Amino acid sequence: MSTWTLGIIGGSGLYQIDTLEDAQWIRVASPFGEASDEILCGRIGDVKLRFLPRHGRGHRIPPGEVNARANVDALKRAGCTDILSISSVGSLREELLPGRFCVADQFIDRTKGRASSFFGTGMVAHVSMAEPVCERLSAFAAAAVERAGGDVAHGGTYLAMEGPQFSTRAESHLYRQWGADIIGMTAMPEAKLCREAEMPYALIGMVTDYDCWREEEAFVEVSQVIAQMQANGEIARRAISELVAALPAERAASPLDTVLDHALITAEDARDPAMLAKLDAVAGRVL
């Protein structure tokens, strides 16, 4: 058993948490570069929280330039045991209307050119992404949204696109055919990196629009998205407090805490010391 230290990565529509006690912004250095911002460290009751605005305060970093490796590494160094991602998303399903929430349980990665692993030449590892989210944390998250007054879909496939442009109509129709339910620009490689860092991950998608597959509707505009983001953000902030209140006093171990036990493949005498030094936080337990 251990205590919870919940990391929250806030996306579009969630840039701060006002309910944190003893809150202070702390810069956490990472060998993978600069994180999106300082980390807001504090607590709600007895639960420690570490909040990182994914796009930086003021939303200054576009999706493709978010340094997800530095973000996840910094949260690991800040002591996080679990990560909750909160992201604005578009809907690819009629029933996921703007204003609803969706706790994703699968991903399709259509990003390109983003560093998607902490490992590489000199230290190779392969982790399973068959079930990419933490079932326990996802259940807590969905229940918390409901208690906060939100209407939430339990499960859904998140299509991660490169951006920063929105989809073409042809792409939107294609993603629906693939079985995707929601679409966003930031969950990948974030979810992969959290798995490599042995931090269970869950994602709350806040639906802002219908993407562009509905032929009878106008295309997506930022003004429309911002208005819905503000309404969703209020529920998301309440959901964080509800989630924290529902967490057990002690955190039982998760199988995801030890995924690197059987993931490392590079022979010990072939490992690069410089690479190992960079991995001291995310993989130090097994190196």
Q: Cα 203 to the chain's mean position, in Å?
A: 6
From 73, 82, 181, 211, the catalytic residue: 211
> Is 209 a catalytic site residue?
yes
Q: Give the number of residues written for the chain.
A: 287
From 209, 261, 272, 280, the catalytic residue: 209
Report the 10 Å Cβ neighbour count for 25: 12
> Is 269 a catalytic site residue?
no
Handedness of CA 182, 186, 189, 190 (dihedral sign): negative
Active site (catalytic) residues: 209, 211
